[in-house]
């Protein structure tokens, strides 16, 4: 098994021992060998490489002296973890085992210059739930609340003999019928949306649903209208596709209906729970928006994130539920109510639009994993999802109350209690406050939050905004966490 990892050239001026020593070192630095398992034994390696035992033994002894390996009594040689602490760039070699000369390869940074997909975006620390004592993180769910017993039951039942046989089927042209049925009955119905199975498409998270809609509705040179402040990832999607972006103002009732919207072929809106301000668009304005877009011949992409967490028994109707013309493309997902890592989303639109979206999805990833679809379908069908969301809603409402009280104590009038629900509060600090600097000040104290300036077209003059999530922080820690932010604020005031 090591023939391709260690290549012996018997005509090379370099000795066999040095060739083995050098290539083993490269493999160790490149983490090709597990740290907690022994390296190939001297006898095994000598047999596979057709060299003497002495040659391999000398190579290992040299590696030991150089600090690459450790010898353990009666266990053999192991990778020395100290050799991996700061290996720098991985070492590369060609088919003959020669180390590539630095700088002789392709300069990919230059290759992607001017057309990189690596645009500025918000990425939450992967260890934020364990690193921070006061994690005001947005968009995540406390894993301790997840009904693991019920989920295991659904996972177990989704991998029986019959279900596993379904995995052999190509789901490119279909989705799990039970999942579609459950989404229609248990998720979309709560939003007032009536849909036929042919009008629903399963996606890998709500993010993919939005990207499919943007890709299908707009071409390079077209214009999409996005709320200001608004969702930055949809702006990045537009830039990647060569689509122009027009930022549209938002007030206390969401998107402001104005003549500027007429310059757009499509609008991207978050009417039920505006991103990031959390304000809810009233029914009259929703109808006004639909009437405007119908007369203008425009499409609307409705992002209904956090749709399931509603503090009211009767949540406001989704924009799609009022759509009688068919120009609203509805994007949703279960990441904010199940778990972020499950990546279960969906699109709802006219069946001809869904037909095209399904074809585009095929070319991107064929279809979402079949086993995941059935597992989520069972979780929905058996009522576990409704029970789980009801519990989360109760907890979030309690945390929201504590958050609002704490913010009013330290920042009176700087935030508003979310009208719809969800798990985020939008906080506006004094104009001279720099949220980025403020986060640097409180992070050593175990506090994390997202800055809000990136959601504005003019970030420079809107650095005083914060997004504070309360989905993963215990309510008992909220007052102290907010207090730490307030105490550090005087040091984060700067002149513009």
Q: Write out pLDDT tens, residues 100-151.
A: 444 557 888 888 888 888 888 878 877 888 889 999 999 888 888 999 999 9
DSSP three-state, residue 378: helix
DSSP assignment letter at 93: B
Strands (E), 159-314: 200-204, 223-228, 244-251, 254-255, 266-269, 299-303
Q: Vertex 338, ends 471 and 405: CA angle to 5°?
A: 20
pTM for this predicted structure: 0.81
Torsion over CA of 32, 34, 38 and 40, rounded to 10 degrees?
Answer: -20
Q: Are 274 and 250 in contact (CB under 8 A)?
A: yes
Taking the C-alpha atoms of residue 381 and residue 116, their distance in angstroms, rounded to an integer, is 43
Is the predicted pLDDT of residue 186 greater than 50, yes or no? yes
Q: Are 67 and 85 in contact (CB under 8 A)?
A: no
Residues 6+ apart with CB under 8 A from 142: 471, 472
Q: Are 200 and 346 in contact (CB under 8 A)?
A: yes
* Furthest C-alpha separation in the chain: 86
- CA atoms within a 13 Å half-sphere pointing along the CA-CB vector of 479: 6
**Residues pairing with 426 in the sheet:** 467
Q: Are 426 and 465 in contact (CB under 8 A)?
A: yes
453: Cα separation from own chain's centroid: 19
Per-residue pLDDT band for 246 (boundaries 50, 70, 90) equals very high
Residues of the chain with pLDDT > 90: what percent?
66
Cα–Cα separations (whole angstroms), residue 354 to 184, 265, 413: 15, 19, 44
Task: For the chain, give percent helix, strand, coil, nearest 5.
Answer: 45, 15, 40
Quote the pLDDT of residue 125.
Answer: 79
Quote the pLDDT of residue 472.
Answer: 93
Q: What is the mean pLDDT of residues 335-360?
A: 91
Q: Vertex 489, ends 483 and 494: CA angle to 5°?
A: 175
Dihedral sign, CA of 80, 81, 85, 87? positive
Quote the pLDDT of residue 95.
Answer: 42
> Distance between the two ends of the chain, CA-based, in angstroms?
63
DSSP string over 307-355: TT-BSSSSPPPPGGGG-SSS-EEEEEESTTTS-GGG-EEEEE--HHHHH
Taking the C-alpha atoms of residue 116 and residue 338, their distance in angstroms, rounded to an integer, is 32
Is the predicted pLDDT of residue 152 greater than 60, yes or no? yes
Tally the residues of the chain: 496
**Residues pairing with 245 in the sheet:** 224
Taking the C-alpha atoms of residue 367 and residue 361, their distance in angstroms, rounded to an integer, is 7
Is the predicted pLDDT of residue 5 greater than 50, yes or no? yes
pLDDT by residue (tens digit) across 251-269? 999 999 999 999 999 999 9
Strands (E), 45-204: 69-72, 76-79, 134-135, 200-204
pLDDT by residue (tens digit) across 224-243? 999 999 999 999 999 999 99
Peptide bond preceding 476: is omega within 30 degrees of 0, i.e. cis? no
Pull the structure tokens for residue 328. Answer: 């609203």
Pull the structure tokens for residue 255. Answer: 């998107």
Pull the structure tokens for residue 408. Answer: 């009013």
Taking the C-alpha atoms of residue 482 and residue 30, their distance in angstroms, rounded to an integer, is 44
Taking the C-alpha atoms of residue 426 and residue 418, their distance in angstroms, rounded to an integer, is 9
Taking the C-alpha atoms of residue 149 and residue 156, their distance in angstroms, rounded to an integer, is 11
Quote the pLDDT of residue 94.
Answer: 46
**Residues pairing with 465 in the sheet:** 428
Quote the pLDDT of residue 313.
Answer: 60
DSSP string over 197-218: GGGEEEEEHHHHHHHHHHHHH-
DSSP assignment letter at 191: G
Least confident residue range of 102-106, 134-138, 335-339, 370-374? 102-106
Q: Are 338 and 213 in contact (CB under 8 A)?
A: no
Taking the C-alpha atoms of residue 464 and residue 430, their distance in angstroms, rounded to an integer, is 6
Element (H, E) at 288: helix 283-296
DSSP three-state, residue 496: coil
pLDDT by residue (tens digit) across 271-315? 999 999 999 999 999 999 999 999 999 999 999 988 888 887 677
């Amino acid at each position: 098994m090591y023939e391709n990892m260690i290549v012996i050239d018997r005509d090379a001026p370099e000795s066999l021992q040095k060739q083995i020593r050098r290539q083993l070192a490269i493999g160790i630095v490149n983490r090709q060998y597990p740290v907690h398992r022994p390296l190939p034994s001297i006898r095994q390696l000598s047999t596979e490489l057709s060299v003497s035992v002495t040659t391999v033994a000398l190579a290992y002894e040299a590696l030991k002296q150089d600090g690459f390996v450790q010898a353990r009594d009666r266990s053999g040689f192991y990778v020395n973890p100290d050799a991996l602490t700061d290996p720098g760039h991985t070492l590369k070699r060609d088919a003959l085992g020669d180390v590539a000369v630095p700088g002789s390869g392709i300069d990919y940074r230059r290759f992607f210059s001017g057309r990189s997909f690596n645009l500025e975006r918000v990425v939450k620390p992967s260890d934020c739930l364990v690193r921070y004592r006061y994690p005001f993180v947005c968009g995540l769910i406390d894993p301790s609340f997840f009904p693991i017993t019920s989920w295991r039951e659904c996972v177990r039942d989704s991998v029986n003999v019959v279900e596993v046989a379904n995995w052999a089927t190509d789901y490119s042209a279909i989705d799990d019928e039970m999942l579609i049925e459950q989404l229609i009955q248990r998720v979309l119905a709560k939003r007032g949306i009536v849909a036929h199975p042919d009008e629903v498409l399963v996606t890998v998270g709500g993010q993919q649903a939005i990207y499919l809609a943007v890709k299908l509705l707009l071409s390079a040179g077209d214009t999409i209208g996005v709320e200001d402040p608004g969702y930055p990832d949809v702006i990045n999607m537009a830039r990647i596709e060569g689509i122009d972006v027009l930022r549209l103002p938002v007030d206390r009732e969401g998107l402001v209906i104005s003549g500027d919207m007429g310059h757009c072929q499509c609008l991207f809106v978050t009417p039920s729970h505006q991103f990031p301000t959390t304000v809810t668009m009233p029914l009259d304005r929703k109808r006004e928006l639909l009437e405007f877009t119908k007369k203008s011949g425009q499409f609307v992409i409705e992002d209904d994130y956090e749709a399931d967490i509603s503090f009211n028994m009767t949540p406001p109707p989704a924009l799609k539920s009022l759509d009688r013309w068919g120009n609203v493309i509805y994007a949703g997902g279960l990441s904010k109510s199940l778990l972020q890592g499950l990546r279960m989303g969906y699109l709802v639109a006219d069946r001809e639009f869904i037909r095209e979206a399904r074809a585009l999805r095929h070319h991107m990833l064929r279809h979402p994993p079949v086993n995941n679809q059935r597992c989520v379908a069972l979780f929905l069908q058996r009522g576990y999802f409704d029970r789980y969301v009801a519990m989360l809603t109760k907890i979030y409402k309690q945390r929201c109350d504590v958050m609002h009280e704490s913010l009013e104590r330290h920042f009176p009038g700087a935030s508003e209690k979310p009208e719809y629900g969800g798990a985020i509060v939008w906080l506006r600090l004094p104009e001279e406050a720099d949220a980025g600097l403020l986060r640097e000040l409180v992070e050593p104290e175990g506090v994390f939050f997202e800055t809000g300036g990136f959601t504005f077209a003019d970030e420079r003059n809107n650095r005083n905004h914060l997004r504070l999530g309360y989905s993963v922080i215990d309510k008992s820690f909220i007052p102290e966490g907010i207090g730490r932010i307030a105490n550090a604020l005087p040091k984060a005031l700067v002149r513009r």
